[in-house]
A and B are shown apart, each in its own frame.
Chain A
Amino acid sequence: DTEVTQTPKHLVMGMTNKKSLKCEQHMGHRAMYWYKQKAKKPPELMFVYSYEKLSINESVPSRFSPECPNSSLLNLHLHALQPEDSALYLCASSPLRHTSTDTQYFGPGTRLTVL
């Protein structure tokens, strides 16, 4: 099973709203990732959690707040977003074996629209 699930599939929110995106995997992976993808572009890395600790933050604005409650779950809390934050948000996970690479498996994404 190489499934990463994400909810909701679609989200529309106003600039004053607070919402959360959720991601779950049951593959025993110890690294989880958030990516942002704009139309016709490759995914851009936002955050990486390794062993439930934030290990990489790619200078993401504080209106995006990640959380990793346990090794299977990853949340992205959204507050005071801007219309330019509208995008497909992808979650990924990887086993985090201690080698020079680590295969990432992606979820289906959440399509976010900020009005």
Chain B
Amino acid sequence: GEDVEQSLFLSVREGDSSVINCTYTDSSSTYLYWYKQEPGAGLQLLTYIFSNMDMKQDQRLTVLLNKKDKHLSLRIADTQTGDSAIYFCALGGYNKLIFGAGTRLAVHP
């Protein structure tokens, strides 16, 4: 079955860039997603990338997709304290999402 892996924790200094990584085993998904979850809240769709793209930029967010290595990353430029949250990568399918375990991003001054 599909497997999606993420590192569990990332700590960065405010103003630095954060890079959250995700690797997966199944390459049949058309879209790959990044969701953000703040404490006690639901999942917020941050961004997504179509599987035939290598990169997508959206303001402070940059998504890189390496299909050969089955590696997805999310870069957050100029990380702020409000970016502290859990970030889930997810592989999209029809009526389903396969989630990674989530990476907790901690931003410190």
Contacts and interface: CB of A to CB of B under 8 A. Distances in A.
Contacts, number: 62
B93 interface: yes
A111 interface: yes
Nearest to A107: B42
A45 B30 CA distance: 20
Interface residues of B, number: 24
A84 B61 CA distance: 37
B109 to A, nearest CB: 25
Nearest to B33: A103
A99 to B, nearest CB: 7
Contact of B35 (A55, A96, A106, A109): A106
Nearest to B48: A103
B96 interface: yes
A56 B97 CA distance: 13
A101 B92 contact: yes
Nearest to B28: A100
Given A43-B43, A109-B42, A102 B92 contact: yes
Contacts of A42: 88, 99-102
Contacts of A48: 95
A104 interface: yes
Nearest to A102: B94
Given A50-B95, A99-B30, A104-B45, 13 more contacts: A2-B45, A6-B42, A43-B99, A48-B95, A55-B95, A90-B43, A100-B30, A100-B93, A101-B92, A101-B93, A106-B44, A108-B41, A109-B42
